[in-house]
Structure 1
Amino acid sequence: MATLFLVMIYLSFITLGLPDSLLGAAWPTMHKDFDTSLSFAGVLSITIAYGTIMSSLASGTILKRLATGQITLLSCLLTAFALLGFYYAPSMIWLIVLALLLGLGAGSVDSALNHYVAKHYKAHHMSWLHCFWGVGATLGPIIMAAFMSGQQGWREGYVTIAFIQFAMVVLLFITLPLWKRMTSHQTTVIHEDKELQNNLDHISLIEKPMQLKGVKITLITFLFYSGAESSVILWGSTYLVTIKELEAVVAAQWISMYYGGMTIGRFITGFVTYKVSNHMLIRSGLIIALVGALLFMLPLPIICSFIGLMLIGLGFGPIYPCMLHDTPKRFGNDQSQKLMGYQMAAAYTGNTLLPPVLGWIAAQTSIIILPFVVASYIIIMLLGSERMNRILKMRITDVSTCKHYSLKSEKCTQ
Structure 2
Amino acid sequence: MTHLLLAIIYLAFISLGLPDALLGSAWPTMYTEFNVPVSYAGIISMIISLGTIISSLQSDRMTRKLGTGKVTAISVAMTAAALLGFSFTHSFWILCLWAVPYGLGAGSVDAALNNYVALHYKSHHMSWLHCMWGVGATLGPYIMGFALSGGKTWNSGYLYISVLQIVLTAFLIFSLPLWTKQKNRTGVQTSDDAPKDTRSKPLTLAEIIRIPGAKEVMLCFFCYCAIEQTASLWASSYLNLFKGIPAETAARFAGMFFIGITVGRAISGFVTMKLNDVQMIRLGQAIIAAGIVVMLLPGPDIISLAGLIMIGLGCAPVYPCIIHSTPDHFGAERSQAIIGVQMASAYIGTCLMPPLFGLIANHISITLFPVYLMVLLILMIVMHELLTKKTVH
TM-score by length of 2: 0.94
Distance 1:330 1:290 in 2: 25
Does residue 269 of structure 2 align to residue 267 of structure 1? no
Q: Indicate the SS of the match to 2:299.
A: coil
Counterpart residue number, 1:159: 159
Q: Is the 8 A contact 1:51 1:101 kept in 2?
A: yes
Counterpart residue number, 2:185: 188
Query: What are the Cα deviations for residues 106-157 of structure 1, in whole angstroms up to 9, with x where unaligned?
Result: 0011000000000111111111000001111110000001111121110000
State the one-letter code of the partner of 1:187: N
Counterpart residue number, 2:318: 319
The CA RMSD over aligned residues, in Å, is 1.8
Distance 2:217 2:386 in 1: 10
Counterpart residue number, 2:308: 309
Q: Is the 8 A contact 1:297 1:372 kept in 2?
A: no
Q: After TM superposition, list the pairs within 5 Å mapping 1:72-221 onto structure 2.
A: 72-180=72-180, 182-183=181-182, 186-189=183-186, 208-221=207-220
Change in CA separation of 1:300 and 1:384 when aligned onto 2, cut-off 3 Å: farther
Offset of 1:298 from its aligned partner? Answer: 2.9
Q: Is the 8 A contact 1:204 1:332 kept in 2?
A: no
Counterpart residue number, 2:48: 48
State the one-letter code of the partner of 1:45: S
Distance 2:159 2:64 in 1: 33
Distance 2:203 2:29 in 1: 53
Of stretches 19-28 and 384-393 in structure 1, the one that deviates more from structure 2 is 384-393
Q: Is the 8 A contact 2:124 2:269 kept in 1?
A: yes
Distance 2:266 2:316 in 1: 8
Change in CA separation of 1:76 and 1:206 when aligned onto 2, cut-off 3 Å: closer
Counterpart residue number, 1:344: 343
Offset of 1:248 from its aligned partner? Answer: 1.3
State the one-letter code of the partner of 1:31: Y
Distance 2:201 2:162 in 1: 40
Of stretches 295-304 and 145-154 in structure 1, the one that deviates more from structure 2 is 295-304
Offset of 1:297 from its aligned partner? Answer: 2.1
Query: What are the Cα deviations for residues 30-50 of structure 1, in whole angstroms up to 9, with x where unaligned?
Result: 001111110000111111100
> Can you give the 5+ residue segments of structure 1 that lack an aligned partner in the other structure?
192-202, 397-414
State the one-letter code of the partner of 1:322: C
> Can you give the 5+ residue segments of structure 2 that lack an aligned partner in the other structure?
189-199
> How many residue pairs get matched?
381
Q: Is the 8 A contact 1:126 1:322 kept in 2?
A: yes
Q: Is the 8 A contact 1:205 1:334 kept in 2?
A: no
State the one-letter code of the partner of 2:140: G
Distance 1:187 1:318 in 2: 22
Query: What are the Cα deviations for residues 247-287 of structure 1, in whole angstroms up to 9, with x where unaligned?
Result: 11111111111111111111111111111111011001101
Distance 1:98 1:302 in 2: 42
Offset of 1:165 from its aligned partner? Answer: 0.5
Offset of 1:204 from its aligned partner? Answer: 12
Offset of 1:302 from its aligned partner? Answer: 2.3
Offset of 1:392 from its aligned partner? Answer: 3.2
Offset of 1:64 from its aligned partner? Answer: 1.4
Of stretches 342-351 and 359-368 in structure 1, the one that deviates more from structure 2 is 359-368
Distance 1:286 1:371 in 2: 14
Q: Is the 8 A contact 1:204 1:331 kept in 2?
A: no
Offset of 1:206 from its aligned partner? Answer: 9.7
Identity among equivalent pairs (%): 44
Q: Is the 8 A contact 2:284 2:318 kept in 1?
A: yes
Query: What are the Cα deviations for residues 74-124 of structure 1, in whole angstroms up to 9, with x where unaligned?
Result: 011110110010111131111111112110010011000000000111111
State the one-letter code of the partner of 2:71: I
Distance 2:203 2:6 in 1: 33
